[in-house]
Amino acid sequence: MNWTKDEAQASNETIRLNPLVDSDADEFLQLYQANRVFLGPWVPTVDDEFFTLAGQTSNLLRMMALREADQAYGYGIRLVENNQLVGRITLSNVVRGAWESATLGYWVSQTSNRRGIATSAVALVLDLAFDVLELHRVQAAVMPYNAGSLRVIEKTGFLYEGYAPYYLRIAGRWQDHNIYSMTREMRQGPHDNSAR
Protein backbone atom coordinates (compact mmCIF):
# COMPACT_ATOMS: atom_id res chain seq x y z
CA MET A 1 0.00 0.00 0.00
CA ASN A 2 1.25 3.37 -0.98
CA TRP A 3 -0.55 5.83 1.28
CA THR A 4 0.72 8.67 3.33
CA LYS A 5 -1.17 9.57 6.47
CA ASP A 6 -2.48 12.77 4.88
CA GLU A 7 -3.76 11.04 1.77
CA ALA A 8 -5.12 8.01 3.58
CA GLN A 9 -7.57 6.15 1.44
CA ALA A 10 -8.15 2.53 0.75
CA SER A 11 -9.92 0.44 -1.88
CA ASN A 12 -10.57 -3.06 -3.11
CA GLU A 13 -12.37 -4.18 -6.28
CA THR A 14 -15.80 -3.17 -4.90
CA ILE A 15 -15.48 -0.15 -2.63
CA ARG A 16 -13.24 2.79 -1.90
CA LEU A 17 -12.86 4.72 1.35
CA ASN A 18 -12.38 8.46 0.89
CA PRO A 19 -11.46 10.81 3.72
CA LEU A 20 -14.50 12.96 4.58
CA VAL A 21 -14.51 16.39 2.93
CA ASP A 22 -17.08 19.21 3.07
CA SER A 23 -17.60 19.05 -0.72
CA ASP A 24 -19.43 15.73 -0.09
CA ALA A 25 -22.12 17.52 1.96
CA ASP A 26 -24.79 17.33 -0.76
CA GLU A 27 -24.36 13.59 -1.29
CA PHE A 28 -24.30 12.87 2.45
CA LEU A 29 -27.42 14.96 2.90
CA GLN A 30 -29.31 12.87 0.34
CA LEU A 31 -28.04 9.63 1.87
CA TYR A 32 -28.88 10.61 5.46
CA GLN A 33 -32.33 11.83 4.42
CA ALA A 34 -33.03 8.56 2.60
CA ASN A 35 -31.80 6.51 5.60
CA ARG A 36 -33.17 8.59 8.47
CA VAL A 37 -35.69 5.98 9.60
CA PHE A 38 -33.39 3.04 8.87
CA LEU A 39 -30.50 4.44 10.93
CA GLY A 40 -32.71 5.78 13.76
CA PRO A 41 -32.52 2.75 16.10
CA TRP A 42 -28.76 2.29 15.69
CA VAL A 43 -27.10 5.72 15.93
CA PRO A 44 -26.92 8.58 18.44
CA THR A 45 -29.90 10.91 18.13
CA VAL A 46 -29.23 13.93 15.92
CA ASP A 47 -31.27 17.12 15.63
CA ASP A 48 -33.20 18.33 12.57
CA GLU A 49 -30.32 20.64 11.62
CA PHE A 50 -28.25 17.54 10.82
CA PHE A 51 -30.61 16.84 7.89
CA THR A 52 -29.86 20.16 6.18
CA LEU A 53 -27.03 21.17 3.87
CA ALA A 54 -25.68 23.53 6.54
CA GLY A 55 -25.79 20.72 9.11
CA GLN A 56 -23.94 18.30 6.85
CA THR A 57 -21.35 20.91 5.89
CA SER A 58 -20.70 21.74 9.51
CA ASN A 59 -20.46 18.04 10.44
CA LEU A 60 -17.97 17.36 7.64
CA LEU A 61 -15.90 20.44 8.50
CA ARG A 62 -15.78 19.21 12.08
CA MET A 63 -14.62 15.77 10.89
CA MET A 64 -11.90 17.43 8.78
CA ALA A 65 -10.70 19.39 11.80
CA LEU A 66 -10.66 16.26 13.96
CA ARG A 67 -8.62 14.48 11.28
CA GLU A 68 -6.16 17.36 11.17
CA ALA A 69 -5.89 17.16 14.98
CA ASP A 70 -5.28 13.36 14.83
CA GLN A 71 -8.48 12.76 16.83
CA ALA A 72 -10.79 11.03 14.33
CA TYR A 73 -10.57 9.63 10.80
CA GLY A 74 -13.87 9.46 8.89
CA TYR A 75 -14.35 8.02 5.42
CA GLY A 76 -17.14 7.97 2.88
CA ILE A 77 -17.73 4.51 1.45
CA ARG A 78 -18.10 4.64 -2.35
CA LEU A 79 -18.74 1.96 -4.96
CA VAL A 80 -15.80 1.60 -7.34
CA GLU A 81 -18.11 0.83 -10.29
CA ASN A 82 -19.92 4.20 -10.31
CA ASN A 83 -18.51 6.29 -7.44
CA GLN A 84 -21.87 6.16 -5.64
CA LEU A 85 -21.72 7.11 -1.95
CA VAL A 86 -23.20 4.23 0.08
CA GLY A 87 -22.12 4.81 3.68
CA ARG A 88 -19.66 6.10 6.17
CA ILE A 89 -17.05 4.57 8.49
CA THR A 90 -15.12 6.34 11.23
CA LEU A 91 -12.25 5.75 13.60
CA SER A 92 -13.07 8.12 16.48
CA ASN A 93 -11.66 8.94 19.90
CA VAL A 94 -8.07 8.48 18.77
CA VAL A 95 -5.77 8.54 21.78
CA ARG A 96 -2.01 8.28 21.36
CA GLY A 97 0.71 7.72 23.97
CA ALA A 98 0.43 4.45 25.83
CA TRP A 99 -2.97 3.66 24.30
CA GLU A 100 -2.72 4.21 20.50
CA SER A 101 -6.38 3.35 20.28
CA ALA A 102 -9.60 4.32 18.49
CA THR A 103 -13.27 3.38 18.42
CA LEU A 104 -15.02 2.18 15.26
CA GLY A 105 -18.40 3.23 13.87
CA TYR A 106 -20.02 2.53 10.50
CA TRP A 107 -23.24 2.38 8.54
CA VAL A 108 -24.26 1.35 5.02
CA SER A 109 -27.29 2.67 3.14
CA GLN A 110 -30.29 0.35 3.44
CA THR A 111 -30.56 -0.15 -0.34
CA SER A 112 -26.93 -1.32 -0.43
CA ASN A 113 -27.16 -3.73 2.51
CA ARG A 114 -26.22 -7.41 2.38
CA ARG A 115 -23.69 -7.02 -0.41
CA GLY A 116 -20.64 -7.35 1.82
CA ILE A 117 -20.00 -3.59 1.84
CA ALA A 118 -19.74 -3.11 5.61
CA THR A 119 -17.51 -6.18 5.93
CA SER A 120 -15.19 -4.83 3.21
CA ALA A 121 -15.20 -1.33 4.68
CA VAL A 122 -14.26 -2.60 8.16
CA ALA A 123 -11.45 -4.73 6.69
CA LEU A 124 -10.12 -1.72 4.76
CA VAL A 125 -10.35 0.66 7.70
CA LEU A 126 -8.42 -1.82 9.83
CA ASP A 127 -5.66 -1.74 7.17
CA LEU A 128 -5.64 2.04 7.49
CA ALA A 129 -5.74 1.94 11.29
CA PHE A 130 -2.76 -0.35 11.66
CA ASP A 131 -0.69 0.22 8.51
CA VAL A 132 -1.18 3.97 7.97
CA LEU A 133 -2.41 5.57 11.18
CA GLU A 134 -0.14 3.37 13.29
CA LEU A 135 -2.76 2.58 15.89
CA HIS A 136 -2.42 -0.42 18.16
CA ARG A 137 -6.05 -1.18 19.05
CA VAL A 138 -9.47 -0.61 17.51
CA GLN A 139 -12.58 -1.09 19.63
CA ALA A 140 -16.10 -1.78 18.39
CA ALA A 141 -19.29 -1.65 20.47
CA VAL A 142 -22.41 -3.36 19.13
CA MET A 143 -25.87 -3.71 20.60
CA PRO A 144 -26.52 -7.41 21.26
CA TYR A 145 -29.56 -7.46 18.98
CA ASN A 146 -27.90 -5.74 16.01
CA ALA A 147 -27.59 -9.00 14.05
CA GLY A 148 -26.06 -7.45 10.93
CA SER A 149 -23.36 -5.54 12.78
CA LEU A 150 -22.55 -8.51 15.05
CA ARG A 151 -21.96 -10.57 11.91
CA VAL A 152 -19.72 -7.87 10.38
CA ILE A 153 -17.59 -7.81 13.54
CA GLU A 154 -17.45 -11.60 13.65
CA LYS A 155 -16.44 -11.86 9.98
CA THR A 156 -13.66 -9.30 10.36
CA GLY A 157 -12.08 -11.23 13.24
CA PHE A 158 -12.67 -9.02 16.30
CA LEU A 159 -12.30 -10.50 19.79
CA TYR A 160 -15.36 -10.39 22.09
CA GLU A 161 -14.22 -8.72 25.31
CA GLY A 162 -17.37 -8.38 27.33
CA TYR A 163 -20.74 -6.83 28.01
CA ALA A 164 -21.00 -3.15 28.87
CA PRO A 165 -24.32 -2.12 30.47
CA TYR A 166 -25.70 1.34 29.63
CA TYR A 167 -22.64 1.95 27.42
CA LEU A 168 -23.79 4.40 24.71
CA ARG A 169 -26.76 6.72 24.28
CA ILE A 170 -28.32 5.37 21.09
CA ALA A 171 -31.70 6.50 19.81
CA GLY A 172 -32.07 8.62 22.93
CA ARG A 173 -31.41 6.05 25.66
CA TRP A 174 -28.41 4.45 27.35
CA GLN A 175 -28.09 1.04 25.78
CA ASP A 176 -26.09 -2.08 26.65
CA HIS A 177 -23.37 -3.07 24.17
CA ASN A 178 -21.06 -5.96 23.42
CA ILE A 179 -17.44 -4.75 23.35
CA TYR A 180 -15.01 -6.13 20.78
CA SER A 181 -11.40 -5.35 19.96
CA MET A 182 -8.76 -5.86 17.33
CA THR A 183 -5.11 -5.22 18.07
CA ARG A 184 -2.02 -5.24 15.89
CA GLU A 185 -1.02 -8.60 17.45
CA MET A 186 -4.44 -10.17 16.89
CA ARG A 187 -4.21 -9.43 13.16
CA GLN A 188 -1.40 -11.99 13.01
CA GLY A 189 -3.55 -14.67 14.68
CA PRO A 190 -6.11 -15.34 17.39
CA HIS A 191 -5.34 -14.11 20.90
CA ASP A 192 -3.86 -16.76 23.21
CA ASN A 193 -5.87 -16.35 26.41
CA SER A 194 -4.38 -19.35 28.22
CA ALA A 195 -2.88 -16.96 30.80
CA ARG A 196 -6.34 -16.02 32.12
Ligand X SMILES: CC(C)(COP(=O)(O)OP(=O)(O)OC[C@H]1O[C@@H](n2cnc3c(N)ncnc32)[C@H](O)[C@@H]1OP(=O)(O)O)[C@@H](O)C(=O)NCCC(=O)NCCS
160 φψ region: left (φ > 0), alpha (ψ -120 to 50), beta (else): beta
Q: Taking CB under 6 A as the criterion, which residues in 41-60 touch ligand X?
A: 42
Contact region for ligand X (CB under 6 A) — 10-18, 49-57, 105-113, 123-131? 105-113
Rounded distance between C-alpha atoms, residue 74 and residue 77, angstroms: 10
β-bridge mates for residue 97, sequence order: none
Answer for which of 117, 126, 128, 182 binds ligand X (CB under 6 A) is: 117
Rounded distance between C-alpha atoms, residue 169 and residue 73, angstroms: 21
Rounded distance between C-alpha atoms, residue 167 and residue 114, angstroms: 27
Compute the least distance from the CB of residue 7 to ligand X, in Å: 25
Q: Should residue 119 be labelled a site residue for ligand X when binding is judged by CB under 6 A?
A: yes
> Which amino acid appears at position 125 of this protein?
V
Q: Should residue 103 be labelled a site residue for ligand X when binding is judged by CB under 6 A?
A: no
Q: Should residue 149 be labelled a site residue for ligand X when binding is judged by CB under 6 A?
A: yes
Question: What is the contact surface with ligand X in residues (CB under 6 A)?
Answer: 39, 42, 106-108, 113-119, 142, 146-149, 151-152, 155
